[in-house]
């Protein structure tokens, strides 16, 4: 059977590439080893009937505002895509009963900052102004292939608009650690902690160079645009993409594991499935998978470029993640105030020092004594995800070891995640209990996914890393996934790489899929 393009893996970047190519008239086939499309965007009733949990990714804000959405949003809406917008985006409660949070209302955020420090209120206003100046240039950078000729005019435009000092300043921001950036911007340790928690979402502890950008962008983008969840579940986006793809003549093969990428005269020409079936691609094979898998397994015998194979296989995953899905009678009664019940995300991460400690414990293989807990409250935004009056929580435990070598608290013995995950989930819920006493009694059911369970669900979540690889500077920008291979090409002609492991990295923004499809169909 012949296609113009074969896409290996049905993560949202693969689907985005498929949709855009199909829209340009290409005949595309998507091959997915699981029984459901969507990669890390999955919604399932894993606790009790009627409770719909986003298993991994939940926030679709990047997708809602993406260039891909601008190009295909109308059709996707026709195929059922709908968002539930969150105006109260993220917050951090503290042990003393205070909290700081970011909503889609600048003056409200400034007033909150004012309660901690008048200087920080001013700093927040300045940062908001700065974002207004930075945003067009930074989003243009994140939305351009890396590197590309577009970067020159882009840099020139930025230079003309903002001057050389702005460029040097922005370059410095790109390499700064969260702590460096936050220390020089704010006085209040609480405001710093609230923002720094976002660094950990991309493998940036407070002292890691290159981690400043994300807390800054997340805070300011949320203030400007809010967050967006999928109406009824994140999978509404996958359903719309697959349905639209079929309308365009594309084909999706589920339960169809690709065993090998086939080559002829050095060029990628198709795939062989685990069941022996073969399919040809005349123009492109697009792998939406980890580079380790593509270069370590799918390219039987290597790409022919041993040095690149070595680098791709050495691509470093981020730390592991645990997911705890909870079905409950009601949202937590936050000691810090009922207003917190309106927020999409809360971080239980009260200080930079504690985040720094967690990170180093995890890297050394220890179960963190007090991990960072991300509490998602999707039913605060979209009540349709649970039966009437009921709620769900989406708990993400950040920065865990994939292989356990010990416990930072010396309580949990044993090194097997399967045996330890419930005990560790108990520790997490006990932490939640200290911020919202009585929540334990509201729990109706829970489902725990250890880092290893995440990998079992999706082999691209290697060791529970949901980022498609660490975003440290040596693996980002020009260097993602490997220096010299940031434009989705590989040493094998006709074979391309997309997904979170490629520029512009993790997040549900369809960036790599859309950029590659545009390059191919130009």
Tell the smallest beta-carbon distance from residue 100 to another protein (Å).
Answer: 21
- Among the listed residues 255, 353, 403, 418, the single contact to another protein using CB under 8 A: 353
Tell the smallest beta-carbon distance from residue 226 to another protein (Å).
Answer: 30
The answer to the question of residue 183 lying near another protein (CB under 8 A) is yes
The answer to the question of residue 474 lying near another protein (CB under 8 A) is yes
Q: Which helix (H) or strand (E) holds 137?
A: helix 118-142
| 347 phi, psi to nearest 5 deg | -105, 125
Distances from the Cα of 412 to the Cα of 22, 127, 233, 324, angstroms: 52, 43, 34, 18
- Among the listed residues 107, 160, 165, 388, the single contact to another protein using CB under 8 A: 165
Nearer to another protein, 75 or 180 (CB): 180
Q: Say if strands 99-103 and 88-93 run parallel, antiparallel, or are unpaired.
A: antiparallel
- Among the listed residues 194, 292, 303, 356, the single contact to another protein using CB under 8 A: 356
- Among the listed residues 364, 410, 413, 437, the single contact to another protein using CB under 8 A: 364
The answer to the question of residue 297 lying near another protein (CB under 8 A) is no
Helix (H, G, I), strand (E, B) or coil at 281: strand
CA 400 to chain centre: 16
Binding map of another protein across residues 390-429, x = CB under 8 A, - = no contact? ----------------------------------------
- Among the listed residues 44, 342, 360, 518, the single contact to another protein using CB under 8 A: 360
Q: How many residues bind another protein (CB under 8 A)?
A: 39
Distances from the Cα of 421 to the Cα of 324, 328, 358, 397, angstroms: 10, 20, 17, 11
Tell the smallest beta-carbon distance from residue 39 to another protein (Å).
Answer: 25
The answer to the question of residue 169 lying near another protein (CB under 8 A) is yes
Helix (H, G, I), strand (E, B) or coil at 251: strand
Interface of this chain with another protein, residues 128 to 147, rule: CB under 8 A = 147
Is 391:381 a contact under the CB 8 Å cutoff? Answer: no
CA 52 to chain centre: 20
**How buried is 62 (Cβ within 10 angstroms: 0-12 exposed, 13-18 middle, 19+ buried)?**
buried
The answer to the question of residue 245 lying near another protein (CB under 8 A) is no
The answer to the question of residue 290 lying near another protein (CB under 8 A) is no
- Among the listed residues 10, 42, 66, 176, the single contact to another protein using CB under 8 A: 176
Cis amide prior to 123 (ω within 30 degrees)? no
The answer to the question of residue 483 lying near another protein (CB under 8 A) is yes
Is 444:50 a contact under the CB 8 Å cutoff? Answer: no
Nearer to another protein, 230 or 469 (CB): 469
Tell the smallest beta-carbon distance from residue 5 to another protein (Å).
Answer: 25
The answer to the question of residue 172 lying near another protein (CB under 8 A) is yes
How far is it, in rounded angstroms, from Cα 466 to Cα 464? 6
The token pair that represents 317 in the structure block: 């995953």
Nearer to another protein, 2 or 126 (CB): 126
Is 481:502 a contact under the CB 8 Å cutoff? Answer: yes
The arrangement of strands across the sheet holding 372-376 comes to 99-103, 88-93, 345-348, 372-376, 391-400, 320-328, 443-449
The answer to the question of residue 208 lying near another protein (CB under 8 A) is yes
Tell the smallest beta-carbon distance from residue 210 to another protein (Å).
Answer: 6
Q: For 116-120, which contacts have Cβ atoms below 8 Å and span 24 or more sequence positions?
A: 116/187, 116/188, 116/190, 116/191, 117/186, 117/187, 117/188, 117/191, 119/187, 120/186, 120/187, 120/188, 120/191
Nearer to another protein, 140 or 473 (CB): 473
- Among the listed residues 22, 142, 205, 492, the single contact to another protein using CB under 8 A: 205
The answer to the question of residue 482 lying near another protein (CB under 8 A) is yes
- Among the listed residues 95, 274, 363, 430, the single contact to another protein using CB under 8 A: 363
Dihedral (C-alpha) 240, 52, 84, 76: value to the nearest 10 degrees? 0
Greatest Cα pair distance in the chain: 67
Dihedral (C-alpha) 298, 304, 307, 312: value to the nearest 10 degrees? -20
Interface of this chain with another protein, residues 301 to 330, rule: CB under 8 A = 314, 316
Q: Which stretch binds another protein (CB under 8 A): 58-66, 190-198, 200-208, 256-264?
A: 200-208
Cα angle 93, 96, 100 (rounded to 5 degrees) comes to 35
Residues 6+ apart with CB under 8 A from 57: 40, 41, 234, 466, 508
Nearer to another protein, 164 or 265 (CB): 164
Nearer to another protein, 166 or 225 (CB): 166
Tell the smallest beta-carbon distance from residue 174 to another protein (Å).
Answer: 9
Tell the smallest beta-carbon distance from residue 455 to another protein (Å).
Answer: 19
Site residues (CB under 8 A) for another protein? 147, 165, 168-169, 171-172, 175-177, 180, 183-184, 205, 207-210, 212, 314, 316, 353, 356-357, 359-360, 363-365, 470, 472-475, 478-479, 482-484, 486
């Amino acid at each position: 059977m012949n296609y113009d393009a074969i896409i290996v893996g049905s993560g949202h970047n693969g689907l985005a590439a498929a949709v855009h190519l199909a829209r340009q008239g290409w005949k595309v086939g998507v091959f997915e080893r699981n029984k459901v499309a969507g990669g890390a965007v999955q919604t399932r009733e894993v606790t009790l009937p009627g409770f719909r949990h986003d298993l991994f990714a939940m926030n679709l804000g990047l997708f809602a505002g993406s260039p891909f959405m601008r190009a295909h949003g109308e059709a996707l809406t026709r195929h059922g895509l709908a968002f539930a917008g969150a105006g109260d985006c993220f917050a951090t409660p503290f042990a003393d009963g205070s909290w700081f949070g970011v909503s889609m209302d600048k003056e409200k955020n400034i007033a909150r900052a004012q309660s901690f420090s008048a200087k920080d209120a001013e700093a927040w206003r300045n940062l908001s102004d700065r974002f207004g100046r930075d945003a067009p240039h930074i989003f243009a950078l994140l939305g351009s292939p890396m590197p590309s000729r577009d970067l020159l005019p882009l840099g020139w435009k930025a230079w003309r608009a903002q001057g050389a000092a702005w460029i040097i300043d922005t370059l410095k921001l790109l390499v700064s650690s969260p702590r460096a950036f936050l220390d020089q911007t704010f006085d209040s340790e609480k405001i710093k902690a609230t923002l720094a928690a976002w660094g950990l979402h991309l493998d940036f502890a407070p002292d890691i160079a290159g981690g400043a950008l994300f807390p800054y962008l997340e805070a300011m983008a949320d203030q400007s645009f809010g967050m967006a969840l999928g109406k009824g579940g994140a999978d509404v986006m996958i359903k719309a993409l697959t349905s639209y793809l079929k309308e365009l003549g594309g084909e999706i093969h589920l339960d169809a594991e690709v065993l090998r990428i086939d080559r002829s005269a050095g060029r990628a020409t198709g795939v062989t499935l685990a069941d022996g079936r073969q399919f040809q691609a005349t123009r492109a094979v697009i792998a939406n998978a980890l580079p380790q898998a593509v270069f370590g397994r799918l390219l039987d015998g290597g790409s022919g470029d041993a040095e690149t194979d070595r680098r791709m296989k050495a691509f470093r995953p981020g730390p592991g993640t645990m997911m705890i899905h909870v079905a409950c009678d009601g949202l937590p009664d936050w000691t810090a105030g009922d207003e917190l019940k309106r927020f999409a995300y809360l971080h239980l991460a009260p200080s930079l020092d504690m985040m720094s400690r967690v990170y180093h414990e995890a890297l050394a293989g220890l179960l963190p004594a007090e991990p960072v807990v991300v509490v998602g409250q999707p039913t605060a935004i979209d009540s349709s995800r649970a039966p009437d009056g009921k709620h769900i929580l989406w708990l993400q435990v950040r920065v865990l070891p994939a292989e356990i070598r010990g416990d930072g608290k010396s309580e949990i013995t044993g090194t097997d995640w399967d045996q330890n995950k419930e005990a560790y989930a108990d520790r997490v819920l006990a932490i939640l209990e200290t911020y919202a006493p009585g929540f334990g009694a509201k729990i109706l059911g829970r489902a725990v996914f250890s880092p290893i369970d995440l990998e079992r669900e999706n082999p691209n979540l290697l060791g529970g890393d949901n980022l498609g690889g660490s975003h440290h500077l040596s693996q980002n920008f020009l260097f993602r996934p490997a220096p010299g291979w940031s434009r989705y090409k590989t040493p094998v002609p006709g074979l391309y790489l997309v997904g979170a492991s490629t520029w512009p990295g993790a997040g549900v923004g369809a960036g790599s899929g859309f950029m590659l499809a545009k390059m191919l169909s130009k």
